[in-house]
Structure 1
Amino acid sequence: MDEQVTDGALLSAVAQGSSAALEVLYRRHASWLIVRLGRRCADPAVVDEVLQDTFVAVWKGAGKFRGGDDAGAWLWGIAIRRLVDAFRRQPPAAYPLESAEVLGTRESAEDLVLLGVEHGDLAGALHRLSPELRAAVQATVLDGLTTREASRLLGVPAGTIKTRMMRARRVLRKELA
């Protein structure tokens, strides 16, 4: 398969069953996905599992891609959702820092934040945000997308993402104060 083919064209080919197109997508995107996932999860085995799950989801759902040639944001959205799913499958640690020390591993700051997002005060505050504000926070803060990537993912202008983030920060400050 030609390495110069756009990601959008590759995803169309994957949707039609081309494993060669999936292989090209994997070679193009796996390395940066591993790096970004690794920043959010200290366990390389979980990162590998999430990466595999991501490309299985791409294989099964490539026909759902509607973003032209901006496949990176779409792939990252799949990957981060798979990572959150992996965290949900793990039992919540009562004392994450102490349990990490006992096991001889270090949990990343992102691991601790995601635990707070799932189980702490932040979880309730996020759930009380309007769906539009919550989606902006999810895309930019939790998923790590740029404003432009979040804009494309959510189908709204970049300025709207910035405004929603400003409003969300204001609401969360009041909720968590």
Structure 2
Amino acid sequence: MKSSTLRTAEQITDQELIVLCLEGKDAGYTGLYNRYARKVYNSISRMISHTGEAEDILQDTFCTVFSDVSKLKGVLSIEAWVRRMAINRSISHLRKRKITFSDLGEMDVEDEVNNDSDDMEIFDCRVEDVKKSIEELSSGYKTILNLYVFEKMTHEEIAVMLGVSASTVRTQYHRAKKRVLLSLKDKCYYE
């Protein structure tokens, strides 16, 4: 009798899932979706506050992934590729809503970077307070903060993605961080 060769979803590689997708098998599509949907949704929802809009972007992202599944064969990190696609769609969505990432000028950057002494304060906050403070930011600030902090993108990568200068990204990142810290001062104990 032949031994069972069934494997769990975690044991199947991304490339094997892609092959299943290319063969038109539902298991491949389901496997990719189940593996990455939650992480991708979290990236989207950090930029898009409205749950329905975030879910639409997630769905559009995976529809594109599945229709272009042959492009995934050579991709080294499927997670990074899908997340980048979702982030680009989120930014496009924000642009359609007229959220702009304006060019603030070079002089502001030095002031913003040099005046970050507030960062050294120690806060005793709950995670919910931090999330709420980030959520209260304008969409532009929130997007840049999330891309830099949670998506680990550089200022230069964010600048290219948003079509602004790296100094604008740095300025808006520092201003967003400052606003979060000011908000936390009202909500948390600090030393």
Identify the residue that residue 55 of structure 2 maps to in structure 1.
Answer: 48
The alignment yields a C-alpha RMSD, in angstroms, of 3.8
Q: Aligned partner of 2:16: which letter? A: A
Give 1:10 shift.
Answer: 0.9
Give 1:36 shift.
Answer: 1.8
Identify the residue that residue 63 of structure 1 maps to in structure 2.
Answer: 70
CA distance in 1, matches of 2:37, 2:170: 37
Q: Does 1:34 align with 2:41?
A: yes
CA distance in 2, matches of 1:175, 1:146: 11
Aligned residue for 1:109, secondary structure, equals: coil
Q: TM-score, normalised by structure 2?
A: 0.50
Q: Does 1:109 align with 2:116?
A: no
CA distance in 1, matches of 2:94, 2:168: 28
Distance 1:172 1:146, change over 3 A: closer
Q: What does residue range 1-177 of structure 1 map to in structure 2 within 5 Å?
A: 2-3=8-9, 4-65=11-72, 66-68=74-76, 70-92=77-99, 109=137, 111-113=139-141, 141=148, 144-145=151-152, 172-173=166-167
Of Structure 1 and Structure 2, the greater helix share is in: 1
Kept in 1, the 8 Å contact 2:43–2:87? The answer is no
Distance 1:16 1:87, change over 3 A: farther
Aligned residue for 1:42, secondary structure, equals: coil
Percent identity between the two aligned chains: 21
Give 1:107 shift.
Answer: 5.7
> C-alpha deviations, 1:13-55, integer Å up to 9, x for none?
2233222211111111111112221111111111100110011
Q: How many residues align?
A: 122
Mind listing any 5+ residue stretches in structure 2 that lack a counterpart?
1-6, 101-133, 172-191
CA distance in 1, matches of 2:8, 2:168: 53
Distance 1:31 1:108, change over 3 A: farther
CA distance in 2, matches of 1:12, 1:58: 14
Looking at CA atoms only, which structure, 1 or 2, has the larger radius of gyration? 2
